[in-house]
Structure 1
Amino acid sequence: MIVCSCQHITDRDIHAAVDWMRAADPMTIVTPGKVYRALGKSADCGGCMSLFLSTLRSNPHTQVPMQLRGLRRAATQEERS
């Protein structure tokens, strides 16, 4: 399915980029910007962003790695001490 007609990005492209990033670095935080860069493209008009994000979120490899969850909360609690 075409997700972005301006940049010719498909849902398969997005999933392949996410899977490649996760395989290359299991601790990476997957963001839309990183997916665009991995595909050698950049956002254009932004009309596809909601579909792009829903496609990105549907990939099970976009979750934050378990070891990195809660780090912001822990740092905030340390600052208050």
Structure 2
Amino acid sequence: MIVCHCTQISDHDIRAAIDWMRAADPQTIITPGKIYHALGKRADCGGCMPLFLDTMRGCDNLGVPPLLRGLKAMRKGESHEGRRKGHRVSQRSASI
């Protein structure tokens, strides 16, 4: 099935690109941009993006690599990238 008419990308092309990327680097995060790049194409109008993403999600090899799973849970104790609570200028002037 043709997913992107502008660049003639099929669902088979997307699945093959995902399989190739996963085999080349099991730890990689696969994005639509990387798939377009692997196929030697560029997104044009973006009308295909919902179908493109659905096709990606349907692929078995798309999952997040095991090494990267749970990173959000590990960061729960951190807040605001280590900044103090009153890091904004408007909050500093109000506290002075």
TM-score, normalised to structure 2's length? Answer: 0.77
Between Structure 1 and Structure 2, the one with more helix by share is 1
Q: Which runs of 5+ in 1 are unaligned?
A: none
CA-CA distance at 1:76 after TM superposition: 4.4
Is residue 2:45 matched to residue 1:45? yes
The count of corresponding residues between Structure 1 and Structure 2 is 80
Give the RMSD, CA atoms, in angstroms. 1.5
Dislocated runs of 4+, deviation >3 Å: none
Match of 1:31 in 2: 31
Match of 1:15 in 2: 15
Q: Deviations over 1:33-60 (max 9, x none)?
A: 1101100111100110010000011001
Q: Which amino acid letter does the alignment assign opposite residue 74 of structure 2? A: A
CA-CA distance at 1:73 after TM superposition: 3.2
CA-CA distance at 1:72 after TM superposition: 3.2
Query: Higher RCO, 1 or 2 (CA under 8 Å, sep at least 6)?
Result: 1
Counterpart secondary structure, 2:21: helix
Is residue 2:58 matched to residue 1:58? yes
Counterpart secondary structure, 2:41: coil
Give the Cα separation in 2 of the matches to 1:35 and 1:76.
32
Give the Cα separation in 1 of the matches to 2:23 and 2:41.
20
Q: Which runs of 5+ in 2 are unaligned?
A: 83-96
CA-CA distance at 1:70 after TM superposition: 1.6
Q: Which amino acid letter does the alignment assign opposite residue 53 of structure 1? A: L
Q: Which amino acid letter does the alignment assign opposite residue 61 of structure 2? A: H
